[in-house]
């Protein structure tokens, strides 16, 4: 045991220091190993407290770094985000709507005749529906465009009396029209759609 007054090494069960003669109090002194290291309970508790403090500070720093990174990333995400189909560009919003076929005109009639209708510019789809008066060999609905495209439904003498339909798609450059030629129909319908 080491003397707390002069530092001399004494026997473990000594009550007085052999060098300086001072009293060695075993109950108040901590156990010292043969290398002179103090392994007291007080120092162990102090060492554990220091370790816990270092771990807590490290955790706090890591949490702060992660939180800062998330805030930074969230703050910069508006520069290139697409939110609710809107593209944000330097103080302007442009609505982005997916393209689809939209009905722009619809025409109906019956009997026999020829009619002409203007069509808009762009990608066009024409759908036709017709129902004949009787089963003749020449009941029909013929729709042709000024672009050269056409669709045709007809009923022969052996055809069942029922509605027939057809459709065509083409591109109109503007100023184009469709011609509807129909014969012996109870009713017919032409729908014009534009892809936009």
Domain count, the chain: 1
pLDDT for residue 182: 94
Residue 125 lies inside a defined structural domain of this protein: yes
Q: How many CB atoms lie within 10 A of CB 182?
A: 24
Is residue 40 in a domain?
no
**Comparison of pLDDT for 42 and 170, the residue scoring more:** 170
- Please indicate, yes or no, if residue 38 is contained in any of the structural domains: no
For the chain, percent of residues with pLDDT exceeding 90: 47
Domain membership flag for residue 181: yes
Domain region containing 145: 101-195
> What is the pLDDT, as a whole number, of residue 163?
92
Mean pLDDT of 43-57: 81
d(CA 122, CA 36): 96
pLDDT reading at 30 higher than 50: no
CATH number at residue 188: 2.60.120.1310
Return the higher-pLDDT residue of 31 and 110.
Answer: 110
CA distances from 2 to 21, 27, 40 (A): 13, 14, 13
């Amino acid at each position: 045991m080491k003397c707390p007054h002069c530092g001399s090494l004494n026997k473990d069960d000594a009550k007085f220091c052999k060098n300086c003669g001072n009293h060695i109090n075993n109950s108040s002194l901590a156990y010292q190993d043969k290398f002179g290291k103090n392994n007291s309970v007080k120092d162990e508790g102090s060492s554990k407290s220091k370790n816990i403090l270092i771990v807590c500070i490290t955790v706090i720093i890591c949490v702060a770094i992660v939180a800062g990174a998330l805030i930074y990333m969230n703050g910069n995400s508006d520069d290139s985000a697409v939110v609710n189909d809107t593209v944000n560009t330097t103080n302007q919003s442009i609505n982005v709507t997916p393209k689809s076929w939209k009905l722009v005109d619809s025409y109906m009639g019956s009997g026999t005749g020829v009619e002409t209708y203007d069509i808009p510019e762009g990608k066009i789809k024409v759908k036709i529906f017709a129902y004949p008066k009787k089963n003749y060999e020449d009941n029909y609905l013929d729709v042709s465009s000024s672009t050269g495209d056409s669709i045709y439904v007809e009923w022969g003498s052996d055809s069942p009396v029922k509605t027939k339909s057809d459709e065509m798609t083409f591109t109109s450059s503007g100023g184009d029209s469709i011609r509807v030629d129909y014969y012996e129909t109870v009713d017919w319908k032409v729908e014009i759609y534009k892809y936009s």
